[in-house]
Structure 1
């Protein structure tokens, strides 16, 4: 069975979501640190355009977006499950809300002037300018909350999270599920990366207690791997056989077509390739890179846009 290779960087909140899931499932994994900002030539060699953090590599298969990565890890190690049998739909819906609405409210609160000054303290001016330009390019067309509105919303969301913890140690019961990991990572960023903004938690101590329980899950067993070695491993591997799943055509685009897949928001860079699978939950593109060889790049349907390339 091929190694799990997570391409990430330590301060990435969505990476923390996946690192904790790896810990909860007690999975061993290889750790490839990638740059925070463009250029990312080693990332693009594998993904073909997608450059959000993190992504997961398994041999010559590349999995984009943490919602899909969660499914891959669940398949690799079904227990403990991310999706409680009685509340699978609810767990996924809460996770989707946390990865979008909660995340952007938290980040707008975190990166107010005081938080940004703390986070970027000691960073050279040219590096700060590069980071701002990079994130500006990734968020073109997005509507951002104003700081005061973000803080008010964040406080309300923390109270609602606290209500979910009134009777249970985790959000939906006695064990953490995908909802816990998705809700945790934006709050982790506030607490760990912009601690000067963490007084927002004072009104909800039960949330801090839950965060301590989540942090105790750890990150599993990891071993560093260079991006060069990861690319070489992809080149030496053959993509896994696709399951014979029903082709769900919502776009009038046939398998074998040259297509692009782009995130609906944040990170507009497209990945192009041959559409070789379109199931009810995901798309798969086949593409060839001069360094990585032939790879399959997988995306979830939810949150991504498929287009034919003429």
Structure 2
């Protein structure tokens, strides 16, 4: 199945609009691109490298290296969970909730983005390992599976992993069997973006993916409907231009901390933020700007971008206080 082609628009007010740092083959970026399509948004597309170093991205993110990243002026959003929440906040209609209440959709993302995504990654990378560029293989192995990753062992248990995947995709197929156009009803929702990027990844990156998916007739039909939603309207932008936009403005994220925060955080406190798992990544450090139940943000400054506010989700990340 062909991916939707990008259509580029003119006249976007770059300072206030969405700047999306990604690369086309990224499955996590595809999740956000579908979400941008659900809301039919205009956005600026900055293509970044697949592996570090990322010298024109990391000045914005304080060293955070994962894909994708969203930038609006001098406010930067790391991790797709944080990006999607900010999109819903800034552009509430059409809602990511679709025909459902919003709360459990974010809980659903912890299954699709953790358990199920890592299962898909294991299958794809284990099969592709002999032909993968070594720098990409080493990077992804360490990032997602820790310091002792070994895809030869994963290949030995491949039938077991495929059986696990088959069961879980069967749940999705069953969910779609009610006759609804999308996962939760007749309107596309966050649930569709959360599921679609995994199907997109399996079909496009696992040699046996298309044949495997053919047993799920409801998913195959739904996949085409989601594909037709598209990615909104992107416009190419250079990484240098994105950096200059950040430098030209000040962050708009408010200075505020939830008074009930269990960590007793305070505005201006020196903190570091890092993923919960042992992924080999360096923490991002700076002065606390904002914290609530869902999001935490810190301030950093450097010569390339001036002062930026870098936002992270609370779930999946730990906060280290000085």
TM-score by length of 1: 0.90
| Structure-2 residue corresponding to 1:158 | 169
Give me the whole-angstrom Cα distance separating, in 1, the residues matched to 2:115 and 2:239.
32
Cα shift at 1:243: 6.6
| Structure-2 residue corresponding to 1:110 | 124
Cα shift at 1:198: 2.5
2:134 to 126, 129, 137: 129
| Structure-2 residue corresponding to 1:19 | 33
SS of 2:101's equivalent in the other structure is helix
Decide whether the 8 Å contact of 1:263 with 1:304 is kept in 2. yes
| Structure-1 residue corresponding to 2:7 | none
1:35 to 40, 49, 52: 49
Label 1:243 to 1:289 Cα distance change in 2 as closer, same or farther (>3 A): closer
Label 1:179 to 1:274 Cα distance change in 2 as closer, same or farther (>3 A): same
| Structure-2 residue corresponding to 1:63 | 77
1:260 to 260, 268, 272: 272
Give me the whole-angstrom Cα distance separating, in 2, the residues matched to 1:186 and 1:20.
12
2:67 to 53, 57, 63: 53
Give me the whole-angstrom Cα distance separating, in 2, the residues matched to 1:246 and 1:252.
9
Moved over 6 A (4+): 142-145
Give me the whole-angstrom Cα distance separating, in 2, the residues matched to 1:278 and 1:180.
29
Give me the whole-angstrom Cα distance separating, in 2, the residues matched to 1:241 and 1:259.
17
Cα shift at 1:79: 1.6
CA deviations on 1:195-248 (whole Å, 9 max, x unpaired) are 433321122111111111111110111111111111111001110141756344
Q: How is 1:1-310 mapped onto 2 (pairs within 5 angstroms)? A: 2-84=16-98, 86-113=100-127, 115-116=128-129, 120=132, 128-139=133-144, 140=146, 146-167=157-178, 168-242=180-254, 246-265=258-277, 266=279, 268-309=281-322
SS of 1:256's equivalent in the other structure is coil
| Structure-2 residue corresponding to 1:123 | none
Give me the whole-angstrom Cα distance separating, in 1, the residues matched to 2:118 and 2:291.
29
Give me the whole-angstrom Cα distance separating, in 2, the residues matched to 1:175 and 1:237.
37
Decide whether the 8 Å contact of 1:50 with 1:269 is kept in 2. yes
Give me the whole-angstrom Cα distance separating, in 1, the residues matched to 2:252 and 2:264.
26
Give me the whole-angstrom Cα distance separating, in 2, the residues matched to 1:57 and 1:201.
35
CA deviations on 1:6-42 (whole Å, 9 max, x unpaired) are 0000000010011111112111100000000011111
TM-score by length of 2: 0.87
CA deviations on 1:96-139 (whole Å, 9 max, x unpaired) are 211111111112122233x4567x4xxxxxxx111122223323
Give me the whole-angstrom Cα distance separating, in 2, the residues matched to 1:117 and 1:210.
33
SS of 1:273's equivalent in the other structure is strand
SS of 1:272's equivalent in the other structure is strand
- Give unmatched runs, 5+ long, in structure 2: 1-14
- Give unmatched runs, 5+ long, in structure 1: 121-127
CA deviations on 1:225-273 (whole Å, 9 max, x unpaired) are 1111111110011101417563442224433221110111346331110
Please provide the CA RMSD for this pair.
Answer: 2.1
Decide whether the 8 Å contact of 1:106 with 1:187 is kept in 2. no
CA deviations on 1:40-64 (whole Å, 9 max, x unpaired) are 1111100012111001000000001
